[in-house]
Amino acid sequence: MTVSSTMHWPSLARSPRAPLHAKVARSIFERAVRMVPVRVVTPDGRSCGGDTGPSAPVFEIVRPGSFFARLGRDTKVGFGEAYMAGDWRAGPGTDLADLLTPFAARLTTLVPQPLQRLRAVVDQRIPAHHENTLEGSRDNIEAHYDLSNDLFAAFLDPTMSYSSAWFPDDVDLVGAGDLEGAQLRKIDGILDFAGVREGTRVLEIGTGWGALAIRAAQRGAQVTTVTISQEQLDLATKRVAEAGVSHRVDLRLQDYREVVGDFDAIVSVEMIEAVGEEYWPTYFAAIDRLLAPGGKVSIQAITMAHERMLATRRSFGWIQKYIFPGGLIPSLQAIDETLAAHTSLRVSQRRELGPHYARTLRLWRDRFTQEWPAIHAQGFDETFRRMWEFYLAYCEAGFRTGYLGVSQLQLTRAPAWG
């Protein structure tokens, strides 16, 4: 597969012409970085920022004109696009996530309050074709997960788990390195919350590359697992067969909305983020409909604070444009409210893994960087490399600061009183 920056992202090939917007963006940026403990350097040797000392993370602006023009055209998308285009980078000796973390910690205060009130005017709206209808969901999933199985295999651990791991409690997360063991621990945590054991009828919504289905089958469960990614289904089928559990796993290319039957346990790992707010009631109602009496549900969900979700849910950001079209991260409050309004289910147990996701992402990025020559040989270009570097580091910074969280949630039916 070949990913050409000019073919897939033509707007990156040339700098936008927006002198007035660029001037405003420069003023806002220079004001904002005075509150951030980083050192910003420009090609002419100028330096600014909230920490100009030699040990501060270095934000190096390579092409100021293009950087501020992109930022001025659309702040939420332009910052990441400018990195993809090479308009800025982490300075020598500065790790990208270390640079982004202080920005993430101050994300809600970097733009002055009067300008924040203009969000509804300046934010791009989410494109209609990103809506998660049956057809739209397939398109959105294919845009990310069908890039290449070999791409994901290059930086994921042997379980091919593309979600937060759960490292042992007695391990220093800064130095934790056994990603495969931590991913298996995460999967076991999900299966334990759902009560999966010998003879359990399990439905998995979102197959991934089959690791959870294999683990559940090895417990003696009978697993039905659904995905709308053909690439994932093909490799998951092969991996299930190699694990010797094909007789216990029914793999389907099927949307969760089309599933029928009764299941003792329903599991879904970091799938809700791709559902879209409009379809959260449908997602949870489907789970409620498919869950047998006395059954349990276990989901793993990336979350954000409720007020931040409300403030950003209608706007179009860099992650949605380039990484996960149609996605929206829920809040724990939104999950609770959706369950109460549309199902008989309630959250009965919760496990928080936010710092574990920061470490997971760092290990993925280290591996991505290490394996870049092999990834590049698959046909992915330098713009793609910078896009994925930014994506992984941006998310790591979010989990480091608590701007993002991730929860394992056990759902059970609320008791029927009266």
The pLDDT confidence band at residue 141, using thresholds 50, 70 and 90, is: low
Residue 168 is predicted with a pLDDT of 95
pLDDT for 2 beyond 60: no
Range in 57-61, 129-133, 249-253 the model is least confident about: 129-133
At the topology level, CATH places domain 128-413 in: Rossmann fold (3.40.50)
The pLDDT confidence band at residue 418, using thresholds 50, 70 and 90, is: very low
Q: Please state, in angstroms and rounded to a whole number, the distance separating the CA atoms of residues 56 and 38.
A: 5
The verdict on whether 48 is a catalytic residue reads no
Annotated catalytic residue within 56, 85, 269, 395: 395
User: What value does the mean pLDDT take over residues 153-171?
Assistant: 96
DSSP state of 58: E
DSSP helix/strand/coil, 51 = coil
Amino acid of residue 385: R
The pLDDT confidence band at residue 112, using thresholds 50, 70 and 90, is: low
Instruction: Give all strands (DSSP E) within 305-357, no chain letters.
Output: 345-352
pLDDT for 339 beyond 60: yes
Range in 218-232, 304-318, 350-364 the model is least confident about: 304-318
User: What value does the mean pLDDT take over residues 255-279?
Assistant: 96
Tell me the percentage of the chain whose pLDDT exceeds 70: 88
| 381: Cβ contacts below 8 Å, ≥ 6 apart | 2, 3, 4, 5
23-70 pLDDT tens trace: 999 999 999 999 999 999 999 989 999 987 888 999 999 999 999 999
1: which 2 tokens?
A: 């597969």
CB 263 within 8 A of CB 203: yes
DSSP helix/strand/coil, 231 = helix
Range in 9-13, 114-118, 293-297, 309-313 the model is least confident about: 114-118
Residue 111 is predicted with a pLDDT of 64
User: What value does the mean pLDDT take over residues 199-217?
Assistant: 98
pLDDT for 125 beyond 70: no
Residue 207 is predicted with a pLDDT of 97
Higher pLDDT, 154 or 18: 154
CA dihedral 156, 161, 165, 168 (to 10 degrees): -90
pLDDT for 162 beyond 90: yes
Instruction: Write the DSSP string, 129-178.
Output: GGS-SHHHHHHHHHHHHTS-HHHHHHHS-TT---S-----TTS-TTT---
pLDDT for 4 beyond 60: no
Residue 133 is predicted with a pLDDT of 67
Q: Please state, in angstroms and rounded to a whole number, the distance separating the CA atoms of residues 178 and 182.
A: 6
Residue 324 is predicted with a pLDDT of 87
Among all chains, which residue has been given the structure tokens 């992984």?
392
From the list 265, 213, 193, the residue with the least C-alpha distance to 409 is 193
Residue 166 is predicted with a pLDDT of 98
User: What value does the mean pLDDT take over residues 261-288?
Assistant: 96
User: What value does the mean pLDDT take over residues 333-339?
Assistant: 98
Instruction: Write the DSSP string, 186-227.
Output: HHHHHHHHTT--TT-EEEEE--TTSHHHHHHHHTT-EEEEEE
How confident is the prediction for the chain on average, in pLDDT?
90
368-415 pLDDT tens trace: 999 999 999 999 999 999 999 999 999 999 999 999 999 999 999 987
Comma-separated ranges of CATH 3.40.50.150 domains in the chain = 128-413
Q: What is the pTM of this model?
A: 0.91
Measuring CA to CA, how many Å separate 153 from each of 103, 211, 213, 363, 370? Answer: 31, 13, 18, 13, 13
The pLDDT confidence band at residue 119, using thresholds 50, 70 and 90, is: very low
Among all chains, which residue has been given the structure tokens 């954000």?
304
Q: Give me the numbers of helices (H) and strands (E) for the chain, helices first please.
A: 19, 11
Residue 136 is predicted with a pLDDT of 58
